[in-house]
Amino acid sequence: MPDLQNISITSESDARGSFCPGPLMELIRLVRAGAVGDVLAVLSKDDGSKRDIPTWVAKAGHEFLGMEPFENATRFIVRKAK
């Protein structure tokens, strides 16, 4: 797993007020709008995200860089691979 502290995030969406499957939707929108190589992040308070986001990233063929606690939520970090 890469060192998350040294990764610079291209674009981030704060989906802490959003409910399942909102945070995943936010991430999908960011990935679609981004360019290959972009590092995209989403903040989520939804427990389902911890399973949903890595599963979607693997299925969609992108790179899951990891997750970290942030304030009262979790930050999910993904690199757009294609």
Partner 1 sequence: MSNKVSIVLFSGTVDKLMAAAILATGAAAMGKDVSIFLTMWGVMAFRKGDWKTNIRISKDFEDQAPAMLRSMSEKKVPGWLENFKSAQEIGNVKIVACGMTMDLFELKLEDLEPVVTDVDGVASFWNQVEDGTALFL
The answer for residues whose C-beta is within 8 angstroms of residue 68's C-beta and 6 or more apart is 4, 74, 75, 77
Q: Is 33 in the site for partner 1 (CB under 8 A)?
A: no
**Triad 2, 42, 24: Cα angle to 5°:** 110
Catalytic status, residue 3: no
Q: Is 22 in the site for partner 1 (CB under 8 A)?
A: yes
Q: Is 20 in the site for partner 1 (CB under 8 A)?
A: yes
For the CB of residue 28, give the shortest distance to partner 1 in the complex, in Å.
Answer: 5
- Which of 2, 17, 37, 47 is the binder for partner 1 (CB under 8 A)? 17
Q: Is 73 in the site for partner 1 (CB under 8 A)?
A: no
- Which of 52, 67, 75, 78 is the binder for partner 1 (CB under 8 A)? 52
**Buried/exposed code over 13-32 (b: 16+ C-beta within 10 A; e: otherwise):** bebbebeebbbbebbbebbe
